[in-house]
Structure 1
Amino acid sequence: MILTNAQIVADNEVIHGSVSIRDGLIDAVDAGNVSLPGAVDCAGGYLMPGLVELHTDNMEKHFTPRPGVAWPGLQAFKVHDAQMISAGITTVFDAISVGDVIEGSERLNNLARMAGALDESRQRGLSRADHLLHLRCEVSHADTLENFNRLLEQHAPQLVSVMDHSPGQRQFANIDKYREYYQGKYKLSNEALEAFIERQTEASRRYSDSYRKAICETCLSHNIPLASHDDATVEHVDESVGLGMAIAEFPTTHEAARSAHNHGMAVLMGAPNVVRGGSHSGNIAAHDLASQGLLDILSSDYYPASLLDAAFHLANDERNDYDLATATALISVRPAEAAGLHDRGRIAPGLKADLLWCEAVDDHSHILHVWKHGQRVF
C-alpha cells in the first residue's frame, strides 16, 4: 500500500511526500507524490505515527458504566478498544488500579475481570490496538501487595507505576484540594470526610514505604519498566531513582519535574492538563514544563481524545518552541521508547506501519483513518 500527498510528521520535520507499506511495516518514506493505481490520496492532510498511551484508566468506565452495574468483560473491553483506535491510539497500556482509597470499590472488584478481558481479546485477535497491561499500585492500601503478586503471576504486566494518594502529600499536598476532591467524589459529610482522612493517613503510614520497596524490587527482577507517580519533592525523586524508576508520572511541582528530568527520568504529564490549560488538582501546568524543556511524554489519562489535541495545542502555543514534529514525539516515539518498545512510534523504514491520517480543524484535530500493522482499523 502507498499513502501519498500527505504532510508526513517525521522525526524532526514535516515533509510533503509518500509512505510505502509492505507486510505490515513501513517500507519507504519519499518526498513528493506518486500517481500509481491504488495509492491512497491523503489530500494534503497530516500522516502521523500511531499514538502510544502509557497511562489511561479509560477501560474502567466501560466495565462499570453506572454504580453497581458490571458490564460483561469482553464487550466492555471492545468498546474501550474502539475508543482508543478512534482517538488514534494504536498502542495502549491499560492502567488498572491495584488497591484503592475506598474499601470494596468497583476498581477492586473489576481487577480480574479487566485483566482477563484484556488477555482474552489479545489472544483471540479481537483488538484493533495493541493492548498492554499497566498495574498502577496504590501502596497505601492493605491488600495491594497481595493483589499485585497474584496479578503478576496470572497476567504479566508490561508497566508498573507506584502511587500514594493519601492526604497532605504528593498530588494532594494541598489538604483543601484533597477535601474538595474526595468530598465531591464520594458525597461525604464533613464528619465522614475527617474520619476518611484519618484512615487514609494511617494506612499510608503502615503500608506505603514497605509496599513501594517490595513492588519495585520485584519489577526490577522481572525487567518490568517502573514509573513513579505524583512526585512532589526532590527527595521523592531521589527515592524513585533509587528504586529504579525510569518514568516520572505527573510530578506536581517544578522542582520535582526538573529533578526527574536531570536524573534522566522521562517526565510524563496529562494531555487534559494541556487542553484545559492547567491541572484539575491545582498542581503545575504541563505547558509550563513544556516551555522549560522539561516535558517528555503526554498521557491521555482519563480522556483519550485529548492526546492528539494536546500535541496540536503545544505546536500552536507561542509560550514554547515546539513544532508539530517535536510535539508529536511526546505522544509517539518518546512513550514507546520509555516503555522499551523500539519498533514503533516513528514514520521510518523498518518500523511498524501504525499510522493515522488527520486534519487540523479550527483548534483541534480531526482523524480520518487509522492503520495498525498496515491494516486499516478506523
Structure 2
Amino acid sequence: MSQSDQILARLMALHPKVIDLSLDRMHRILAALGHPERAIPPVIHIAGTNGKGSTQAMIRAGLQAGGARVHAYTSPHLAHFHERIRLAGDLIGEDTLAATLEECEAANDGQPITFFEITTAAAFLAFSRVPADYTLLEVGLGGRLDATNVVDAPRLTVITPVSIDHTQYLGDTLPLIAGEKAGIIKPRVPVIVGPQEDEALRVIETRAQGLTAPIVAYGQHWMIQPDRDGMVFQDDHGLWDLPLPNLIGPHQIQNAGTALAALRALGATEAQARAAVTQAEWPARMQRLRRGPLVDLAGRAELWLDGGHNPAGGEALAATLSALPPRPTHLICGMLNTKDIAGYLRPLAAHAASLTAIDIPGEENTLPAAETARIAGLVGIPTGTAPDASQAIRKITANDPEARILICGSLYLAGRILRENG
C-alpha cells in the first residue's frame, strides 16, 4: 500500500456519523489552510447528472491544444486516486499527493469531515501551488452544497444534462435536482447549458436570470447535429464543421456540443474545437478493452467497459449499442444498491442477448448478484449469475466465442475491472 493510500484510509475514518450536505466543514478546513481556493487559476465549474466527465475531458483537450496549462479535478477515480487531480495536465505525483493529504489531515485536526471534502481541499491546495491557465472543477454530488462550490467567481459554469439520480440527497423530482445543480451559477458569470428537459431548463434559467448570469443554452444559443460522416456545431458566432467525437456513442455528440459552447465562450479556435472532439481521453465510457488478462480470456470476443449507472446512462448505452455493427451483446452487470436498477436496465433489454450478474468486489453497497439478475429478468433480459467477471467471461464465451461482452452498471465496478485487467 502506497503512502497516499495509507493516508486516504485514515481520512475515511473522519467521516461524520450523519451526512448533512453543508459547506461548513469545507469553509473551516479551507480557512485553516489559508484559503487555497482563492489562489487557483480561473475556474470552469461543471455540474450535471450525465456527461460531466466526458464534457470536461473535451474542454481540457481543446484548451491544451491551444497551449494552455490546465488543472482538472474529477471523481470518482477508477483505478487509482491520483486520477482525480491533474496538475497542469499531468496526474498528481505520489510524493505531492501524500504531502498534500498529510497537510490537510493536520489542518483538519481530527474533526469530522467527509472523504470528498478533505480530498477536495487537498486538490485546491495542490492547484494553488502549480501555475496554470485554467482549473476544470467537476462537481461530485449536486452543486449548491457540493464541496467544490466554494469558488466565488468562476470564469464559466457549465451544466450538462440533468436527470433523476441521488434522490436521497438531491430530491426526487427533476425541478428539485435541477435546482441543486443550478446552485453553481454565480452572479454575472456566463453559464453554458447542455440539452435539458423543459422543466429542468426552466429552473436553470430562473436561477441564471436572478443572478444576471448570461445563459448560453442548447437549442437557443447553440446547436449541434450529425452531418454526413461528422457533425456541425453552430452558434451566434458561426459554424464549425467537425469530425465525430473519438468518445464512442451518439450521446457524445451532445456532450461535445456543450464542451464546444464552453470553448467558444473562452475564445477557442476551430483547431482547438477539432482537438477537443478528437483527442479527449475518458476511460470506462464505452471503452473497448484491447489488451490485458481479461481480453486474453475473452479470446475472439469483443470486450467493452462502461461505467454508466442511472436510467439516462442506460438510455445512452442502448443508443450506443444500436449504432454499433450487429453482434450478439452479453452484459456482465454489477450495481450499487442505491441505484434505480430497473430504470437503468430497461433501455438495454432490447439489445442484450443475456445478462450475467456479479457483485462489485470489495464494495459494501453492492447489490447482490442474485438481486441484479432478478430485476434484469423482470425487464425481459435472460439472466444468470457468476462469482466474478473472469468466470462470467468464461461462461459467455463457452456458448458464444465471438460475442460482444459489455461489463457495465457502475463506475466502481469499472475501476475494479481496469485494475484487474492491468
Higher RCO by CA contacts (8 Å cutoff, separation 6 or greater):
1
* Alignment TM-score, normalising by the size of structure 1: 0.31
More strand by share: 1
* Alignment TM-score, normalising by the size of structure 2: 0.29
